[in-house]
Structure 1
Amino acid sequence: MTDQRSPAEIVRQSLKRRYRKERRFRAYGVLAIAIALSALLLLFVDIIGKGYTGFIKATVTLDITLDGDVMYLEDPTDPEELSMADFSAPIIRALQSHIPEAQSRAEQRELSRLVGTYGPNKVRDLVKDNPELMGTTQTMTFHASDRTAVYVKHAGDADYSVKLSEQQIEWVERLREKGVIETSFNDKLFTTGDSREPTYAGILGAIVGSLLTLIVTLVIAFPVGVAAAVYLEEFAPKNRWTDFIEVNINNLAAVPSIIFGLLGLAVFIGLFGMPRSVPLVGGLVLALMTLPTIIISSRAAIKSVPPSIREAAEGIGASKMQVVLHHVVPLAMPGMMTGSIIGMAQALGETAPLLLIGMVAFIVDVPEGFLDSATVLPVQIYLWASSAEQGFIELASAGIMVLLTFLFSMNALAIWLRKRLERRW
């Protein structure tokens, strides 16, 4: 049976089917993008919803009377008396001035637990540094305890369980009404290192450790990667050996990062005897991991330089080395820098290789050099996320927000450099 339709009708029907397929394909693409954006938005909402309170601290402001009889301290200049004195007693007295019915020893213990555990240490340091203040009343601000801070910031939130007693909750509400307990920006998050207490923990040590580690990574990976790319692209002969090297460079870019951690553990620590948990070793490991990315991006940037540039330089008598160093590399540098920044951003977010070389240790002090014990921001987030205290949950989310800010900034810098320095031929 023959088709009775005219050729024009057949063409129109074919075009209709083709257009329908194209519309379906576009719809599938839009749907895929919508799903990806929805998942990304859900992720950000969850992180921000849990992490914004990490930038808030709860404080207790009290009028502390430095009474020697209450603290069992006669001579504040005597180290032995300072070590035996009771510096929590004036804090309890100050709280009792607002909660006078708390008189029994059990109620006083419950009352003292509203203030952070380092509160007495702050009173001791004040007396030790200023013994002339004995007998006076000083207004002091303390961090609230972890349980008090969680209640103040998350009262009514089903994701956070309240671990205060009903009596303590009543006291907290009364202190909040009087303005004794207040919330403000958590400056300690950016000014201190890690701590066993969530209210005193900060990410300064992790940020400095990440910075020191990235400095080592950049100093090693960038010059080595650029030099390797220039040699492979401009000077290396095209034979089986260079083909073998190129294939392995491409394969190394896909190797799981934990393999580089095993390599660093075996070579830098096991063979060379370098110390564990220091930015120097972490930077060496991340440099090995970042090298393939820098080499590949640098070679692509060199290939993008038009051959006419080389021919013109050679035409006026420039040597091969002068052509490469004076013309090709400067013109390819924007692409090299963009690839290096992206590689550094990748290194900043790595955790697995650094866990294997010991940068998962609990570090309180901020590192001052490349050989000081340190941790990095992703590892710090990992430690907080695996902690049992509820206060560390919000700190982990706040740390993720800070890390994402750094990553977005580095990627934005790479895009800006590419747009600012690129040349159109």
Structure 2
Amino acid sequence: MTDTLQSSGDKIAQNHVRDLGLKRRYAKEKRFRLAGIVAISMGILFLFLLFWSIVSKGYTAFEQTKIKLDLYLQEQVLDPSGTRSRDELQKAIRYNKIIEPALYKALGIDLTDKKQKSDRRLAKKLLSRGSAIELRDMVLANPDLIGKKQTIWVLAAGDVDSFVKGQVPRDTPEKRRKIKNKQIVWIDDLIERGVMEKKFNTGLFTFGASSRAETAGIGVAAIGSIFMMAIVLLLALPIGVAASIYLEEFAPKNRWTDLIEVNINNLAAVPSIVFGLLGLAVFINFAGLPRSASIVGGLVLTLMTLPTIIIATRSALKAVPPSIREAALGIGASKTQAIFHHVLPLATPGILTGTIIGLAQALGETAPLLMIGMVAFVKDFPLSPFDPATALPVQIYMWAGAAERAFVERTSAAIMILLAFLAVMNISAVLLRRRFERRW
């Protein structure tokens, strides 16, 4: 009887200990899940704050304040000789003599009254210096406009644009802002009459580098980035795929191939600025290629992207079942035919995914491009990869260091555009993998 009671007590104690152990394990699991949820929530929160910070500062850059003026393109001012010579029409200072009187008329300022000289000086500051250049380019594109009347929206100054967008508070003392009280009265009057409005800022996408925010855009940087991405794609993809096929399918397994594999993996983790130093030493100092050119940037980014493409391609080749190779060889195909006719097509989705991810990484690189001089001030559009150019990340870097308030919104807008490109490329990689990937 006593033994029976003792054994029953032991079983109860064992069950109690087991229940306590289960409760502890369940409690640990709940805490781990809670920690995971908190970590994910914090990551999403910080990501949201990052995007909110960028979008809240950058969305206003997609609009630009402009002034509608009725212009009379007088021939005696723009082309006194009447020859329509391009050299004659390129003198931008003449176009100010067309725009400024039209602005004075819109503001009710007498051009001949000496007492209003200070008003004319203040009124001129409402206009961007780039407005005369825009009008000049319009006339150069169509000289038949000379001698005719045109209603044209011209750019307002950057300070005016910032004020209209509410970036400069009205209650700021006059001494602490560049917009004077009289200019504010004119701005309010022009807005009320519909003569001053915010228009879609096409210049953000078509202008090049400029010291004035209202005439600064990403056009030159975008062309430079396109040239570089084309060079990376044309060089890195065939070289990377060829190297991967050789290392994975044909190279003997020995110390040399092991050393090559280790170095490829190490190169994928090398800081990008090291590739910039390599490009500076080899492509510019040794090979003599032009500094600040897309060709050098493309070659540097090719070296940086190659390890990523090689690693991704080798993984894709390994993922193809050995039975595919064995079946091809079994029906009489050579090893080369088995690789190129059967294995490589099946590995294509993984190769494309790795290539797109490598290109997206290269598109966002800044440090190696700074080392090869692509931080230069480039206003004219490059016509070939050998012309001076810059890149979108470098343009963002330069705008971020500018002192003017209006460059803040352009910096954020350029980041939004760059992020959009990167998102499209990464989404494309995912869709391509899902579309063509085969499950074994």
Same fold (TM over 0.5): yes
Cα 1:133–1:300 change in 2 (3 A) is closer
Rounded to whole Å, the distance in 1 between the matches of 2:311 and 2:58 is: 37
From 303, 311, 314, the counterpart of 1:288: 303
- CA-to-aligned-CA distance 1:158-197 (integer Å, 9 cap, x gap): 9x98421111112111111111110011011122222222
Give the partner amino acid of 1:399: A
Contact 1:151–1:162 at 8 Å: present in 2 too?
A: no
Assess if the C-alpha contact under 8 Å between 1:147 and 1:162 holds in 2. Answer: no
Partner of 2:238: 223
Q: Which 10-residue stretch deviates more, 121-130 or 396-405?
A: 121-130
Q: Cα–Cα, structure 1 residues 130 and 242, in superposed 2: closer, same or farther, change >3 Å?
A: closer
1:37 maps to a residue whose letter is I
Counterpart position of 1:88: 96
Q: Percent identity?
A: 50
What amino acid maps onto 2:377 in structure 1? Answer: F
Name the residue aligned to 1:112: 124
Give the aligned residue type for 1:91.
Answer: I
Q: Which residue of 2 aligns with 1:61?
A: 68
User: Deviations 1:238-270 (Å, cap 9, x if unpaired)?
Assistant: 111111111111111100000000000001111
Matching of residues 353-368 of structure 1 within 5 Å: 353-368=368-383
- Aligned runs of 1:110-259 on 2, under 5 Å? 110-122=122-134, 130=143, 133-134=146-147, 137-155=149-167, 162-259=177-274
Larger deviation, residues 50-59 vs 187-196: 187-196
Give ranges in structure 1 of 5+ residues lacking alignment. none
Deviation at 1:154, TM superposition (A): 2.5
| CA RMSD of superposed structures (Å) | 2.6
Partner of 2:392: 377
Residues of 1 paired with 2:93 and 2:220: CA distance? 32
Please say if residues 277 and 371 of structure 2, whose CA atoms lie closer than 8 Å, have aligned partners that are also in contact.
yes
**Unmatched segments (≥5 aa) in structure 2:** 1-8
Contact 1:77 1:131 in 2 (8 A): no
Matches within 5 A, 1:212-361: 212-361=227-376
Q: Which moved more, 1:97-106 or 1:227-236?
A: 97-106
Aligned residue in 1 for 2:29: 22
Alpha-carbon offset, residue 157 of structure 1: 5.7
Q: Please tell me the residue identity of whatever aligns with 1:58.
A: T
- Between the aligned partners of 2:82 and 2:346, the Cα distance in structure 1 is 69
Deviations 1:314-349 (A, max 9, x none): 211222212211111111111011001000000000
1:7 to 4, 14, 19: 14
Letter in 2 for 1:99: L
Q: Secondary structure at the match of 1:275?
A: coil
1:278 and 1:84 mapped to 2: Cα distance?
A: 29
- Equivalent position SS for 1:23: helix
**3-state SS of 2:165 partner:** helix
TM-aligned CA deviation for residue 155 of structure 1: 4.3
User: Take 1:84 and 1:39, find their aligned partners in 2: how far apart are those partners?
Assistant: 48
Question: How many pairs does the alignment contain?
Answer: 421
Counterpart position of 2:407: 392
Distance 2:268 2:259 in 1: 15
Q: Secondary structure at the match of 2:69?
A: strand
The answer for the alignment partner of 1:409 in structure 2 is: 424
Structure 2: how far apart are the matches of 1:126 and 1:266?
44
Mapped partners of 2:137, 2:329: distance in 1: 73
Per-residue deviation, 1:199: 1.1
In 1, the alpha carbon distance for the partners of 2:61 and 2:364 equals 20
Query: Is the CA contact 2:69–2:106 (under 8 Å) kept in the aligned structure 1?
Result: no
Give, in whole Å, the separation in 2 of the partners of 1:157 and 1:423.
59
Give distance in 2, aligned partners of 1:254 and 1:211: 25
> 2:239, 2:248 → 1: CA distance?
14
Q: Secondary structure at the match of 1:97?
A: helix
Q: Contact 1:76 / 1:127 at 8 angstroms: preserved in 2? A: no
**Partner secondary structure for residue 104 of structure 1:** helix
2:412 and 2:420 map into 1 onto residues whose CA distance is 12
TM normalised by structure 1 equals: 0.92
**SS of equivalent to 1:6:** helix
